Amino acid sequence: MKTFLPKPDQIERRWLIVDATDQSLGRLASKIALLLQGKRKSIYTPHIDTGDFVIVINADKVKLTGKKWDQKVYYRHSFYPGGLKARTAREIFQKNPAALVRLAVRRMLPKNRLGRKMLKRLKVYTGPEHPHQAQKPEVFDINSFN
């Protein structure tokens, strides 16, 4: 028996809308990462990009539990001596709420060129409006997702 490898024309990409209203950031991001990777599909192959497009709306209504708004710190480094920068989740959220969701999903994807390709299929918007009506996206209930 031969191993099945999907050809590029066999990969069917859907457009899914996920509403982030009152969703916990980490749980939402892990489910979105699974959709972007295509792990719920029967043709999933780790080294082939089989995922769907995901549109996240209402990213400004996502929630963090406990004291994470002030205690969760995101670090980045400029690669110069003493170039460590730190920002809390609240600071990132106030400047750009969509960036917080994108950052959480990005860190749950593979850290290679395949993960960067998957991240390009993630579209995050702060309000309920999005410019992708022509793709006929389906509303996806993230709460029924295991």
Task: Output the DSSP codes for 58-123.
Answer: -GGG-B--TTHHHH-EEEEE-SSTT-EEEEEHHHHHHH-HHHHHHHHHHTTS-SSHHHHHHHTTEE
State the total domains in the chain. 1
CA dihedral 109, 111, 114, 120 (to 10 degrees): 60
Is 48 among the domain residues? Answer: yes
Look-up of token digits 């609240």? 90
CA dihedral 142, 102, 56, 24 (to 10 degrees): 40
Is 111 among the domain residues? Answer: yes
Is 70 among the domain residues? Answer: no
Mean pLDDT of 73-92: 97
Helix (H) or strand (E) holding 15: strand 15-19
Residue 49's domain spans which residues? 13-64+96-141
Judged by average pLDDT, the poorest of 2-16, 24-38, 53-67, 123-137 is 2-16
Separate counts of helices (H) and strands (E) for the chain: 5, 6
Structure tokens at 140: 């996806």
Is 78 among the domain residues? Answer: no
pLDDT in tens, 10-42: 999 999 999 999 999 999 999 999 999 999 999
CA–chain centroid gap for 68, Å, is 19
Is 2 among the domain residues? Answer: no
Is 43 among the domain residues? Answer: yes
Confidence of residue 118 (pLDDT cuts 50, 70, 90): very high
**CATH assignment at residue 109:** 3.90.1180.10
Structure tokens at 21: 């209203």
Is 42 among the domain residues? Answer: yes
